A and B are shown apart, each in its own frame.
Chain A
Amino acid sequence: KNEVEQSPQNLTAQEGEFITINCSYSVGISALHWLQQHPGGGIVSLFMLSSGKKKHGRLIATINIQEKHSSLHITASHPRDSAVYICAVRPTRVPRISGGSNYKLTFGKGTLLTVNP
């Protein structure tokens, strides 16, 4: 079982709709990141959360540490919001295997969002 699960895997919406993408994780974390990846491949960091809620423009991200769950909401969706949205967590304890980094993020598989005009 992946430590970070996202749902849905794919989401198609009509312009103007309210969108929610969910992320559940199974480990203790120090932070959770929401990332946006456009078809060209580049990744933009949308939010970093360790508690509560953040808002930036039409995007809202919430996190419930007790329930190990986060949501990304997009209000008044637009075709330019079409992208892959990735949830990533930074575990509080990363097992040190021989070699390896203590700093690694664990990524969800992403949610492909398509917003049609």
Chain B
Amino acid sequence: SAVISQKPSRDICQRGTSLTIQCQVDSQVTMMFWYRQQPGQSLTLIATANQGSEATYESGFVIDKFPISRPNLTFSTLTVSNMSPEDSSIYLCSVEYGARPYEQYFGPGTRLTVT
């Protein structure tokens, strides 16, 4: 299995500021995913991060708002830029691991509140 940690676990931020969320995996993985879960909603994929290439963003998400770094096979960051209250969500890092069809593992999440 793959064990994922995220920092911070929660934060309260002011409108207009930015927050960077870190995701660390205890194993080398090719694909890392960033999800958002708005209050009362299911998970929505923000982007897929492959090491050594630009992240692939889903419809409705753009790099200027959610820049992602993937410097190596065990680490990624997601920045939520110029935050507004609508960005208040749980942000989850996830990885595929093992052989096809891949197991999916999730981090503990970062609970973000924007005031």
Contact = CB atoms under 8 A, between A and B. Distances in A.
How big is the B interface, by class?
Answer: 20 to 34
Interface residues of A, number: 26
Contact of B101 (A31, A40, A41, A45): A31
Nearest to B31: A103
Contacts, number: 67
Nearest to B103: A48
Interface in B17-61: 31, 33, 37, 41-43, 45, 47-48, 56-59
B45 A43 contact: no
Interface of B: 31, 33, 37, 41-43, 45, 47-48, 56-59, 90, 92, 96, 100-109, 111
18 contacts: A30-B101, A31-B101, A40-B108, A41-B90, A41-B109, A41-B111, A42-B107, A43-B109, A45-B106, A88-B43, A88-B104, A99-B58, A101-B56, A103-B48, A104-B45, A104-B58, A105-B43, A108-B42
